Amino acid sequence: MSDQFSITAAATAVTSKTAAERVHFHYGGRQSITNTELAPGHVLVSFQISPINPQDLMVIAGLYPVKPVFKDENGEGILGYDGVARVEAMPVVEGDAASASAPGRDGDLHPGDLVIPRRHGLGTWRRTAIVKAEDLIRLPPDTDPLGASLLRMVFLPAYLMVEDTRPLKPGDWIVQNAASGAIARLVTQFARLKGCHVCSVVRDRDSAGLEALRPVLQRDGASVVITEGELRESGVDAHPRLAEAAAQGRVALALDGVFGEPGERLASLLSKGATYADYGSLGGADGVVRLSQRLLFWNEVSFGHFRLSENLARRTPTQQESLLWWFAELLAGGKLSAPDVTRIKVPKAAALTGQESSDAFEKQVILALSGEWKEKVGAGKHVLDFGAI
């Protein structure tokens, strides 16, 4: 049985409209789909968890270059470019019991397999979908579903920033802001695997909030956790271990997810010959990072940016898939852990007994899409949790 729930939006650019005005929710009834109705090479999947990523906001605004592949009866694109699903059914092929060949690890797909999208635009903000098997990547069966849903847009960029931005040696230090965010927390974990130290800079918060957060980031592997205010006030002397690393010339990489003045403060910590990389603009698109003569001439700091698509282009599809499998194995082995998220439970059609039950859910989604939640200190990533079908 297939639940027809989905979230859609028009694909045209209308930046004057808010997410609440552009996004539409659909609660179809349950529909039975048999494997005899599936075309060759297609599979029926049920989504388990689908993250809400920054790129989804661009898709909703009509500004993202890759448009949704699937549309509803009104021509609106089905949203969601990332997520994890279970294979529910495959087509019956003459002479074979039931198969749908998907290039990748260990051959064909089978019912019950855990899969993630191979490409953007598959429309993961729906309970079930019929998609091409070749557009899916199978994961090890014991992969944690939450971790699986974050592999492509959290684990992958975090790993590539640590691995590709500059050569790092054991004992080197990374300084990063927005450090309680999902990507930053995985940066810390990958840095730990390389024997590197991390100074995590977080937004100012009350002492109770900071004391609750600090051990969480330290469990990820952060050597030092300081606030933006402490960095602004004391610079490299905000923590003795950071000051010692700077004195030894070991602060090798700054990863800036905020830009503007917070980025400047991060760059000021770097040692001679270090690298600064911008990968986000949480501080606003109009932010400016000023460069001093000390940074450019005396310290010879290299300034650049990190873009996921550019780094992925350096690797073949097979290499990319091998990375995802490795991440899944590290998750299963306890060497990596998924960051904390806020789960938005997607109601099942049968449970919607009145308008109020859907209103509460829709308000949660719109709030996550509006960006207002980012103003709350410590707010994490939101995911749509479909539960068992």
pLDDT digits 0-9 by tens, 212-251: 999 999 999 999 999 999 999 999 999 999 999 999 999 9
Predicted confidence at residue 358, as pLDDT, reads 86
The CA distance from 100 to 333, in Å, is 30
Q: What is the DSSP letter of 387?
A: -
Q: Which residues contact 317 (CB under 8 A, 6 or more apart)?
A: 118
- Do 163 and 253 form a contact (C-beta atoms < 8 A)? no
Say how far apart CA 233 and CA 1 lie, in whole Å: 59
pLDDT one-digit tens code per residue, 134-193: 999 999 999 999 999 999 999 999 999 999 999 999 999 999 999 999 999 999 999 999
pLDDT of residue 148: 98
Taking the C-alpha atoms of residue 150 and residue 324, their distance in angstroms, rounded to an integer, is 10
**Does CATH number 2.60.300.12 belong to domain 153-311?**
no
Sign for the CA dihedral angle at 120, 125, 131, 134 comes to positive
The dihedral formed by the CA atoms of 162, 211, 330 and 166, expressed in degrees to the nearest 10? 10
User: Tokens for 324?
Assistant: 């995802």
Q: Is 21 exposed, middle or buried (0-12, 13-18, 19+ CB in 10 A)?
A: exposed
- Indicate if the pLDDT at residue 315 is higher than 70: yes
| Contact status, residue 364 vs residue 25, Cβ threshold 8 Å | no
Q: Where are the beta strands (DSSP E) in the chain?
A: 2-3, 6-9, 23-26, 30-31, 42-51, 77-78, 84-89, 114-117, 128-132, 136-138, 173-176, 197-202, 224-227, 251-256, 275-278, 302-305, 341-345, 381-385
Position 105 scores a pLDDT of: 46
Question: Under CATH, what is the fold of the domain 2-150+338-385?
Answer: Quinone Oxidoreductase; Chain A, domain 1 (3.90.180)
3-state percent helix, strand, coil for the chain, nearest multiple of 5: 35, 20, 45
- Report residue 290 as tokens: 């000023």
In this prediction, residue 32 carries a pLDDT of: 66
Residues 6+ apart with CB under 8 A from 71: 8, 77, 78
C-alpha to C-alpha distance for 96 and 111, rounded to whole angstroms? 15
CA distance 107 to 105: 6
Continuous H helices in 268-352: 293, 308-312, 317-332
Q: Where in the chain is the domain with CATH 3.40.50.720?
A: 153-311
pLDDT higher than 70, residue 301: yes
152 vs 13, higher pLDDT = 152
- Residue 122 burial class via C-beta count within 10 angstroms: exposed 0-12, middle 13-18, buried 19 and up: buried
Max mean pLDDT among 54-68, 212-226, 277-291 falls in 212-226
Q: How many CA atoms lie within 13 A of 3 on its CB side?
A: 22
Amino acid at 241: R
**What pLDDT score does 370 carry?**
83
**Cα–Cα distance, 70 to 45 (Å, whole number):** 14
When comparing pLDDT for 4 and 350, which is higher? 4
Q: Report pLDDT for 48.
A: 98
| Model confidence, pTM | 0.91
For residue 185 the two structure tokens come to: 């927390």
On the question of pLDDT at 258 being above 70, the answer is yes
- Parts of the chain belonging to CATH 3.90.180.10: 2-150+338-385
Average pLDDT, the chain: 90
Measured from the Cβ of residue 238, the count of other Cβ atoms closer than 10 Å reads: 20
